[in-house]
Amino acid sequence: MDNSKVKYNFEYDRKLKICFIGAGGHSFRNVYPTFQYAPVDLAAICDINGERAAAFARQFGARNHYTDHLEMLERERPDAVFIVTSYHPDGRVQATDLALDVLKFGAHVWMEKPTAATTDEVRQLIDASNANNKYVMTGLKKIFFPAIEKVNQIISAPEFGQPSSIYIRYPQHMPPFAERSDLTRITSLVDHIFHPGSIIHYLMGKISHLSYEREPFNGGTVTNMRFVSGAIGTMHMTAGQSGASPLERLEVIGKGANVVVDNGVKVTYYRKAKPPEYGRSRSYMVDTESAPLHWEPEFSLGQLYNKNIFYLGYVPEVLHFCESVLGGEPPRKGTLEESLEILKLLEAYRNTPEGTVAVLNS
């Protein structure tokens, strides 16, 4: 887990010259603000809406703004391009085509999820990335949450034992099977599957096969999966839950130990412990040496870690990309190979009726 000291943008000696495609709501709230803490020189912004491109350039300190990304690439010659756009009318992901343009031009790509809508498109990106010798990283923010990184560290330690099962909950609606061949009917699923999908892959590795059941009232689902490692997992997509409820819960079981994350920030590690004797114990207290460990942020101080751009992984993911490019090493997280596995999961839901088995990796 990286808890190295955060530098402010103006303290960096070496920066990447970057351009940004997209001046929308998410990037305004969560991506441009990360540049305060990253080694980037924001040269130019492009949006097909010229007024927004100009307003964002003023707001975030870019020198130039454009309405045509090809013109921006040609004139600015950036080291890397950030892409945060939306969907084509046919449901395809705009950023996929834009990333291919950027790679052809010869710059590295950081793109928001979804990377693409199909495995074929990700394979196209993998080929273009290799052919042009440029990296593509997707902002899989969940695997940069300090809480999820902590779980990864805990379950990788020998004392946790082999991770044997996982439970993950995420509130997501799934349309009926007959509608799922039409991309325009599953935009929300394409948009969100990257969140639980990235955590599952980060913690448990590749899925071997799965099957699922869907309820017809809200489109909630329960999926059972077997991983290539031999471990098993359940994903509960809790469509229909209250709008006032926390969204997520995660639990990984090892051997005599388990770890739980609630609401993305609270981590409880139940370490190996001898249970109090059944029928004879007056107290539930276990020894301090084997007691559960619990972490949650304080929300009092003006610290970086209690800003959402840190605990929701946005600054860490952008830093990982910038440091990888500056160091000449491919990003290790948010890779196209991870996106490929997440889209295999999406395609399992698109191509396999409820109650039957989908094989993702044989």
Ligand X SMILES: NC(=O)c1ccc[n+]([C@@H]2O[C@H](COP(=O)([O-])OP(=O)(O)OC[C@H]3O[C@@H](n4cnc5c(N)ncnc54)[C@H](O)[C@@H]3O)[C@@H](O)[C@H]2O)c1
Binding site for ligand X (CB under 6 A): 21-27, 46-49, 52, 69, 84-86, 94, 98, 112-113, 139, 141, 191
> Chain centroid to CA 158: how far?
26
Q: Which residue type, as a one-letter code, is found at position 18?
A: I
* Closer to ligand X by Cβ: residue 22 or 78: 22
Residue 98 CB, shortest distance to ligand X, in Å, is 6
CB of 191 to ligand X, least distance (A): 5
- Min separation Cβ 42 and ligand X, Å: 15
Both structure tokens of 311: 């605990």
Least Å from the CB of residue 300 to ligand X: 25
Please name which of 160, 193, 197 lies closest in space to residue 174, comparing C-alpha atoms.
193
Residue placing its CB nearer to ligand X in the complex, 187 or 208: 187
- Minimum Å gap between C-beta 321 and ligand X is 14
Using only C-alpha atoms, the chain has a radius of gyration, in whole angstroms, of: 22
Question: Whose Cβ is closer to ligand X: residue 26's or residue 104's?
Answer: 26
Of 114 and 220, nearer to ligand X (C-beta) is 114
Nearest distance from C-beta of residue 178 to ligand X, angstroms: 25
Q: Taking the complex as a whole, how short is the minimal distance between the CB of residue 351 and ligand X, in angstroms?
A: 22
Of residues 48 and 239, the one with the C-beta less far from ligand X: 48
Please tell me what DSSP assigns to residue 287: P
Separation CA 127–CA 332 (nearest Å): 18
Give the whole-angstrom CA distance, residue 101 versus residue 119. 19
Q: Are 14 and 326 in contact (CB under 8 A)?
A: yes
Token pair 């207290």 in the structure block, residue: 285
Smallest separation (angstroms) from ligand X to the CB of 358? 24
The residue number whose beta carbon is nearest to ligand X equals: 24
C-alpha separations of 288 from 278, 336, 361 in Å: 19, 43, 43
Cα separation, 72 vs 99, in Å, equals 14
Our CA angle for 201, 207, 209, nearest 5°, is 155
Amino acid sitting at position 256: G
Which of residues 144 and 269 has its CB atom nearest to ligand X in the complex? 144
Cα separation, 80 vs 97, in Å, equals 16
Identify whether the C-beta of residue 196 lies closer than 8 Å to the C-beta of residue 239: no
- Residue (36 or 67) nearer to ligand X, CB: 67
Residue 171 or residue 254: which is nearer to ligand X going by CB? 171
- Tell me how far apart the alpha carbons of residues 127 and 121 are, in angstroms, rounded to a whole number: 10
Q: How far does the chain reach from its first CA to its final CA, in angstroms?
A: 32
